[in-house]
Amino acid sequence: MAAGGSRAALQIRGVAKTYRLHDRTLPVLADIDLDLERGQFVSIVGASGCGKSTLLRLIAGLEGDYAGEIHIDGAPITGPGLERGIVFQDHRLLPWLTVADNVRIALLNRPISTGDAASLVREHLALVGLQGFESAYPHQLSGGMAQRAAIARALINAPKVLLLDEPFGALDALTRLRLQGELQRIWMRNRSAMLMVTHDVREAVYLSDLVIVMGGSPGRIVSRARVPLPHPRDRALPALREIEEEILSQLIGPPDASANRAVAAPTAA
């Protein structure tokens, strides 16, 4: 494993994962090698069932029993830790706690004074645009606001790596677009390394420096597409659409030329 001087915040080498069922084994991941550099935004796309979320759970320390190595800043992952934050598709806020208390709960395993904790909560709620909603309860928030609170909770311990598992998948299209812009703003200010799983190729290309394409069963990395464009980005940039189309062609194949000809053919008189 590379020494601590490496630029990589996250290093994955030869990771494979198999689930043991009653009468057989089910290989889920095979031969995963990936580096996530400090301050880099990487997305993983691929068909359902290719192991994207399983890989994220291994990195988060929520699952074990795998082959290979996963290191954060050169240290092996042995379970959940404060150097990693995670945001799920469901915000998972506790309904009996206020927004401020839901964010503060992430500090329970950290030695910190009450005053410093309150200051961090205020700072991170302001970061995600929720100042003024400290005393609100989850049922009083929109879906987008609740997910922003979940992002604040994941960031409050200043993780080296923020993991995002379909963070906008449950939101309506307009809210999703707005939060993509918000996440880009937060990342540009915070500069934690971010690793996001998404089914939305356009979302991945818009936000990421690097898009990992996974496929197969068991899941493998089949290609890597760099997005060499500065942030913040204009969604209308032709270069973004070109990269998106290249990734889509790998996932679903090129357009059927014969079908296009059939559509274009004139009908008989």
Tallying the residues shown for the chain, one arrives at: 269
Task: Specify the amino acid at residue 180.
Answer: Q
Mean pLDDT of the 141-156 span: 95
pTM, entire model: 0.88
Cα gap 63→88, rounded to integer Å:
15
Give the per-residue SS3 of 222-245: EEEEECCCCCCCCCCCHHHHHHHH
| pLDDT of res. 49 | 85
Sign of CA dihedral 33, 38, 44, 49: positive
Q: How confident is the model at residue 20 (pLDDT cuts 50, 70, 90)?
A: confident
Mean pLDDT of the 48-65 span: 92
Q: Show the domains of the chain with their CATH numbers.
A: 8-83+159-254 (3.40.50.300)
Mean pLDDT of the 82-105 span: 94
User: Percent of the chain scored above 90 by pLDDT?
Assistant: 75
- pLDDT digits 0-9 by tens, 116-140: 999 999 999 999 999 999 999 999 9
Mean pLDDT rounded to a whole number for the chain: 90
| pLDDT of res. 190 | 86
- pLDDT digits 0-9 by tens, 36-54: 999 999 999 998 888 999 9
